[in-house]
Amino acid sequence: MPELPEVEIVTRSLIPILKNKILTNFWTSDKNLRSQLSDYECFILTNKKVKRIFRQAKYLILELDNSWILIHFGMTGKITVSKVEQKVFIANNKHVHCSFQAEDNFLYFQDIRRFGGLYFVERSDEKNLFDSQLPFNFGIEPLSEKFNENYIYLISRKVNMPIKAWLMKGIIAGIGNIYASEALFRAGINPNAKTKSLGIIRMSRLVNSIKFVLTEAIRSGGSTINNYSNIDGEAGNYAKKHMVYGRKDKFCLICNYMLDTKYIAQRSSFYCKKCQKF
């Protein structure tokens, strides 16, 4: 399930493939995604040049002339770069929902569970993508300098939710269940702890832990749980380094105490009662 590190890896590897390329031959499936490009949008997009490729939150964003394509991977979204013609690829591969040509390559977006989506955004007047009234809650980038203990402390003073539920609300971009769990373990904070009960010292530890696990995950090629792979089809190695996520009925790698498993905000949570304090 792609979170920030996995989307970042895919984005970086797509830069040399897409930069300054003209897009043509848009194709979309008729299955419902969270969002899909309309025929009109495909028409508008045709023959536009890709000027910039970047990631914001969990979105891969292609910047074109006066417009953007945003791609969200949901849980099982995947991009394949291929020389195989569209008719052949689509006939031979399941769950293909969008494709286009970028000069010497074809791109294919596949998504088994269809939690992903494709969005087309046009520039309106002088507004850019990030100050307009778009239906995207991007949240603060956790690897930016603005994301620090003062910021997160200030905005969380009235939050009664468990800290893990709050981390996954999208206020902090790109954090999902895996990295919320891992960062809380590393920070020594119990995921059930009331958010506003955390003081500036512990918030500081949390901020550093979030930055650490995300950076490490990017360096390790991301986390492959079921089917994440980079655009070359290779699995990530970070799942081997998980301290708590997915380790049901296993023992804490630090203190050897049995890990706890519990649903918090509708999501499975793994943590060590001894190492992670309220």
Partner DNA sequence: ATGAGAACCTGTTCGC
Partner DNA sequence: TGCGAACAGGTTCTCA
What is the nearest approach in angstroms of DNA to the Cβ of residue 195? Answer: 7
What is the nearest approach in angstroms of DNA to the Cβ of residue 75? Answer: 5
Identify whether 51 is a catalytic site residue. Answer: no
Residue 31, contacted partner among Zn ion, DNA, none, CB below 5-8 A by kind = DNA
Residue 94, contacted partner among Zn ion, DNA, none, CB below 5-8 A by kind = DNA
What is the nearest approach in angstroms of DNA to the Cβ of residue 46? Answer: 26
Rg of the chain (C-alpha set): 20
The residue annotated as part of the active site, out of 34, 205, 211, 267, is 267
Q: Which is nearer to Zn ion, 43 or 257 (CB)?
A: 257
Residues that bind DNA (CB under 7 A): 1, 3, 31-32, 34, 57-58, 72, 74-75, 94-95, 112-115, 135-137, 158-161, 165-166, 168, 170, 176-178, 195, 226, 265-268
Instruction: Please name which of 126, 96, 101 lies closest in space to residue 111, comparing C-alpha atoms.
Output: 96
Residue 265, contacted partner among DNA, Zn ion, none, CB below 5-8 A by kind = DNA
The residue annotated as part of the active site, out of 3, 8, 63, 149, is 3
Identify whether 2 is a catalytic site residue. Answer: yes
Q: Which two tokens stand for residue 172?
A: 């902090």
Q: DSSP letters of 153-210? A: HHTTTT--SBHHHHHTTTSBTT--HHHHHHHHHHHTB-TTSBGGG--HHHHHHHHHHH
Locate the DSSP E strands across the chain.
23-28, 52-56, 59-64, 67-72, 77-82, 96-102, 105-111, 117-122, 260-264, 267-271
Farthest-apart Cα atoms in the chain, separation: 59
54-65 residues labelled b (16+ CB within 10 A) or e (exposed): ebbbbbbbbbbe
Return the SS3 of 69: strand
Residue nearest to Zn ion (CB): 252
Residue 107, contacted partner among DNA, Zn ion, none, CB below 5-8 A by kind = none
Residue 273, contacted partner among DNA, Zn ion, none, CB below 5-8 A by kind = none
Q: Which is nearer to Zn ion, 206 or 243 (CB)?
A: 243
What is the nearest approach in angstroms of Zn ion to the Cβ of residue 148? Answer: 27
What is the nearest approach in angstroms of DNA to the Cβ of residue 189? Answer: 17
Residues that bind Zn ion (CB under 5 A): 252, 254-255, 257, 272, 274-275
The residue annotated as part of the active site, out of 21, 48, 55, 58, is 58
| CA–CA dist 179, 124 (Å, integer) | 35
Which residue carries 């920030």 as its tokens? Answer: 4
Q: Which is nearer to DNA, 101 or 224 (CB)?
A: 224
Identify whether 135 is a catalytic site residue. Answer: no
| CA–CA dist 131, 136 (Å, integer) | 11
What is the nearest approach in angstroms of DNA to the Cβ of residue 38? Answer: 17
Looking at the DSSP assignment, which residues form a beta bridge with residue 54?
A: 61
Indicate the angle between helix axes 200-219 and 177-187, nearest 10 degrees.
Answer: 130
Give catalytic residue positions: 2-3, 58, 267
